[in-house]
């Protein structure tokens, strides 16, 4: 698949989608854990807002959207989500899907995000 897409195109796609995901997450009012210069386009780490039950969000996403994201490991358990954008799953559609589903999961726990700003920021980053 990499050969068909071309390595340069694949790297460009993963980088663009990573930037769009980060823009969307931050546009919603959430934070990334890792400083921009140390981030990996294929694995994104989102800080869990205070008071949010990590396991409930991940279970809700899996049960209602068939969307699986990872929880933090070790010292980061319950503090971050690990969101993969690898291979086929690194797509604009999946970014919009994730942001929308996460917004819904957080709303159920009383956390309001600015989904409109998040989607707008992601869309803008995808066009850049």
Q: Give 26-54 pLDDT, tens digit per residue.
A: 999 999 999 999 999 999 999 999 999 99
Model confidence over 62-74: pLDDT tens digits? 999 999 999 999 9
Kindly tell me if the per-residue pLDDT of 14 is higher than 90.
yes
Cα end-to-end distance, the chain, whole Å: 25
**What is the spatial distance between Cα 9 and Cα 44, in angstroms, rounded to a whole number?**
20
**What is the spatial distance between Cα 81 and Cα 11, in angstroms, rounded to a whole number?**
23
* Number of CB atoms found within 10 A of residue 33's CB: 17
Q: Who's near 53: CB < 8 A, 6+ residues apart? A: 109
The pTM assigned to this predicted structure is 0.94
Name residue, tokens 């999961």: 105
Give pLDDT, residue 128.
85
Provide the β-strand partners of residue 82: 45, 70
Model confidence over 77-114: pLDDT tens digits? 999 999 999 988 999 999 999 999 999 999 999 999 99
Kindly tell me if the per-residue pLDDT of 24 is higher than 80.
yes
The values of phi and psi at residue 8, to 5°, are: -60, -45
- What does each C-alpha distance from 38 to 29, 43, 106, 121, 124 come to in angstroms? 21, 11, 27, 21, 22
Give pLDDT, residue 16.
97
Give pLDDT, residue 90.
95
Hey, is 8 helix, strand or coil?
helix
Q: How confident is the model at residue 7 (pLDDT cuts 50, 70, 90)?
A: confident
């Amino acid at each position: 698949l990499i050969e068909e897409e071309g390595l340069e195109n694949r790297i460009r796609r993963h980088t663009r989608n990573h930037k769009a995901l980060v823009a969307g997450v931050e546009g919603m009012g959430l934070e990334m854990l890792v400083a921009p210069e140390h981030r990996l386009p294929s694995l994104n780490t989102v800080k869990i807002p205070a008071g949010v039950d990590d396991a409930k969000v991940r279970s809700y996403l899996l049960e209602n959207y068939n969307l699986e994201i990872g929880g933090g490991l070790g010292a980061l358990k319950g503090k971050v989500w690990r969101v993969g954008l690898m291979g086929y799953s690194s797509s604009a559609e999946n970014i919009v899907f994730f942001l929308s589903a996460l917004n819904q999961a957080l709303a159920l726990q009383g956390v309001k995000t600015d989904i409109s700003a998040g989607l707008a920021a992601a869309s803008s980053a995808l066009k850049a």
